[in-house]
């Protein structure tokens, strides 16, 4: 089907539903110039100047065993403090304002959905904007971490290590966030999935809870869930959502 027809179909699905849920990943933020993991320009393909794979450097055991390298990687490669929301974030915020979109469920840790105005955002993997002391629990904003870009951040109150509130590999997801995500997905009529390779579990498995009428996938690359979707659009998510919302 030609691209225009696909957009028209998406537009009509969106127009016809007031129980939409969006589930996305790193591809939602590439148009804000934040690299994803698995695209050609993604972090996995970038030559690592650190000598470890990204999954290793973003793991709980690496954080414990090599805190200096962990923070160097996290603070220099995972934080994009100047990034701005793109057309995808803006379109989703608008759909929420219109009362059509019930929740954004994201694997991203960049806070750009909220920056675009979305209110109900479930962050499966946490956020780089939140940080906390492992010793006393004091909370710190991103600015505090950026001041410590060249060292391990220590809590000014107690001296404990301040870590980002993100879910590292080998760590479990927040149960409350996960349960809320399952509830929204299982009750949705239209589920739009985009900008995710759907290979990171348990996040990717959330789609299995969908029992609604229409599953739409918007992703540049193929995913193992393409066969299950009623509509698959292999294109930019920002461009696609902006075009689909023009007539809404
Ligand atoms: P991924 O890198 O595995 O997959 C991204 C997918 O998005 C790819 O299939 C790619 O083809 C597609 N894509 C890229 N740009 C796109 C665009 N403009 N329009 C449509 N599709 C596009 O990402 P993932 O599935 O989210 O898994 C990676 C993990 O990495 C997540 O757990 C996430 O926490 C983390 N991560 C987050 C960020 C962020 O917060 N922005 C960035 C990198 C990685």
Predicted confidence (pLDDT) per residue in 85-136, tens digit: 999 999 999 999 999 999 999 999 999 999 999 999 999 999 999 999 999 9
From ligand 1's centre to the CA of 28, what distance in Å?
7
What is the separation of C-alpha 84 from the centre of its chain, rounded to a whole number of angstroms?
Answer: 14
Q: How confident is the model at residue 139 (pLDDT cuts 50, 70, 90)?
A: very high
Q: Is the pLDDT of residue 157 over 60?
A: yes
182 and 203 Cβ atoms separated by less than 8 Å: no
- Is residue 196 in contact with ligand 1, taking CB distance under 6 Å? yes
The residues annotated with a catalytic role in the active site are 125
62 and 69 Cβ atoms separated by less than 8 Å: yes
Q: How far apart are CA 44 and CA 60, in angstroms?
A: 18
Taking only the tens place, the pLDDT of each residue in 69-83 is 999 999 989 999 999
Q: How far apart are CA 182 and CA 205, in angstroms?
A: 10
- Is residue 34 in contact with ligand 1, taking CB distance under 6 Å? yes
Q: Is the pLDDT of residue 31 over 90?
A: yes
Q: Quote the pLDDT of residue 50.
A: 84
Q: Quote the pLDDT of residue 54.
A: 86
What is the separation of C-alpha 15 from the centre of its chain, rounded to a whole number of angstroms?
Answer: 25
185 and 207 Cβ atoms separated by less than 8 Å: yes
Instruction: For ligand 1, pick from 7, 36, 82, 106 the residue to mutate: most ligand atoms within 8 Å of CB.
Output: 36
Closest ligand 1 atom to Cα of 125: 34
Q: How far apart are CA 130 and CA 195, in angstroms?
A: 23
Give the predicted TM-score (pTM) of the model. Answer: 0.96
Q: Quote the pLDDT of residue 1.
A: 60
Q: Quote the pLDDT of residue 46.
A: 63
């Amino acid at each position: 089907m030609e691209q225009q027809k696909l957009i028209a179909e998406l537009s009509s699905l969106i127009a016809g539903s007031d129980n939409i849920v969006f589930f996305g990943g790193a591809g939602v933020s590439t148009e804000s110039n934040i690299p994803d993991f698995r695209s050609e320009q993604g972090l996995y393909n970038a030559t690592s100047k650190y000598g470890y794979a990204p999954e290793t450097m973003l793991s709980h055991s690496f954080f414990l065993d090599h805190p200096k390298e962990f923070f160097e990687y996290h603070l220099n490669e995972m934080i994009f403090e100047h990034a701005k929301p793109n057309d995808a974030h803006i379109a989703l915020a608008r759909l929420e304002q219109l009362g059509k979109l019930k929740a954004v469920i994201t694997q991203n840790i960049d806070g750009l959905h909220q920056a675009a105005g979305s209110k109900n955002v479930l962050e499966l993997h946490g956020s780089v904007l939140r940080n906390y002391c492992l010793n006393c629990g004091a909370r710190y904003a991103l600015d505090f971490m950026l001041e410590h870009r060249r060292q391990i951040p220590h809590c000014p109150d107690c001296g404990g290590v301040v870590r980002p509130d993100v879910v590292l590999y080998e760590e479990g997801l927040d149960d409350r966030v996960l349960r809320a995500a399952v509830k929204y997905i299982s009750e949705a009529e239209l589920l739009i999935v985009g900008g995710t390779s759907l290979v990171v579990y348990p996040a990717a498995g959330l789609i299995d809870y969908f029992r609604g009428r229409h599953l739409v996938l918007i992703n540049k690359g193929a995913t193992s869930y393409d066969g299950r979707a009623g509509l698959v659009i292999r294109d930019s998510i920002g461009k696609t959502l902006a075009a689909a919302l023009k007539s809404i």
